[in-house]
Structure 1
């Protein structure tokens, strides 16, 4: 299961069924769970913990030191969940002590060729980063987000759950949950209704969120006025609460 040309540090902890290809390098303080497949020429540095049934393709660099000049070799870490796919040349960096010291990736993600996840990013479940999509440091990505190829997210931005970002988008502000954005600079282009339907959202929920989207992004109200109006509604679904929360937690301003 482990190619004889692979280099495994004695302090690495591997499940019994982990597959490791030729010339891969597994460093100290790396933990790899059951069912993982590590491709040839992959480099995994620690401290890094990788869950079960992840597949990492050739030439990926996982858990390396970050590119932040403030980094001075502190023992930060990377944590990865289960059932993720990291394609060729993907780079994922550990955290910094200026944040919480950890980069976190959830489960069931797809990171296409040459995507980059910088230090201190927090990525939810079922996220897709297409080819060469790039995250700056401290970015938070909600679950079921899609980032198109060659898109770039500025450091400290937040992308709400179920948002869809078009290819080549330059994202310098926060993105609300459930919206579609694209462009340079990025702008909103409606609710991600088709994506929601594909994931089984009921028509009533889509309609509720569509009304909320229009109130926030297409009316003449300020954000505070729109939020006040939304919160005055008697019955709100959990999905509308998620949309509202993505607006209230924005710290860099919203992509409009």
Structure 2
């Protein structure tokens, strides 16, 4: 199968398309865009560069990919969007490039599912195997670990981090770091509400691993002590659990306040 470009689509001379790429009706592929093998674009998608797209990605329709960052400080400097392999982007997803002051790159990993109207802003870093439901939004400079689920209408404040295997509930607004494995539910702002136990079971975590994560969660959110008290308890538990060590490292490395 060869690359197919619909007659109504526009592909600029500076674009580089791999094998078996499909560009649908009324699409625009700009200069300095690189598209990997097997990637498909449905109708009315636009891709502006510099943008690097990996293999076998699927853009369903009306996606706006590689647009300028929505940041008043952006002055036209060269910045990029980099997308991995095997991702799915549903209708009206928007993905912006980075900023010069924020590292210059917005980056998404592999096998992510971004549903309709999801927005990923400038300088975000998204891991692998994440699911962002309809209208989920990342502000600038957000870091998201692997296997994270953002439910519909969830919003994440700029510079926040979402740890691996976390779950953010529908409509929750996150304005602090969410540790790995933690579930967040909506109040005035999102608040921790236990661990993502069901998601961990589906990914092969056994009862011993989940029990250790639950102990860590209780130390961090239920015991009622200071963050330093919780950190000391996490350090004790981490001696027998790599998962708790991951959580402790997350707590120790943050610049924004922890969501508590």
TM-score, normalised with respect to structure 2: 0.96
2: CA distance, partners of 1:97 / 1:175: 26
- 1:202, distance to aligned residue in structure 2 (A): 1.0
Contact 2:174/2:190 (CA < 8 Å) preserved in 1? Answer: yes
Residue 5 of structure 2 is aligned to residue 2 of structure 1: yes
- 1:238, distance to aligned residue in structure 2 (A): 2.0
| 1:66-108 CA distance string (max 9 Å, x none) | 1100001111000000000000000000000111100000000
The residue aligned with 1:35 is: 38
Residue 196 of structure 2 is aligned to residue 206 of structure 1: no
- 1:233, distance to aligned residue in structure 2 (A): 4.3
The residue aligned with 1:17 is: 20
The residue aligned with 2:171 is: 168
* Residues matched between the structures, number: 256
1: CA distance, partners of 2:106 / 2:69: 10
- Picking from 155, 160, 168, the partner of 1:157 is 160
- 1:164, distance to aligned residue in structure 2 (A): 0.2
Contact 2:238/2:244 (CA < 8 Å) preserved in 1? Answer: no
- Picking from 219, 223, 227, the partner of 1:219 is 223
Report SS of the residue matched to 1:62.
Answer: strand
Report SS of the residue matched to 1:232.
Answer: helix
Residue 80 of structure 2 is aligned to residue 74 of structure 1: no
More off after superposition, 154-163 vs 217-226: 217-226
Aligned-residue Cα RMSD (Å) equals 1.0
The residue aligned with 2:58 is: 55
- 1:234, distance to aligned residue in structure 2 (A): 7.1
TM-score, normalised with respect to structure 1: 0.98
Unaligned runs of 5+ in 2: none
1: CA distance, partners of 2:83 / 2:160: 21
2: CA distance, partners of 1:230 / 1:17: 50
Unaligned runs of 5+ in 1: none
Report SS of the residue matched to 1:229.
Answer: helix
1: CA distance, partners of 2:142 / 2:239: 32
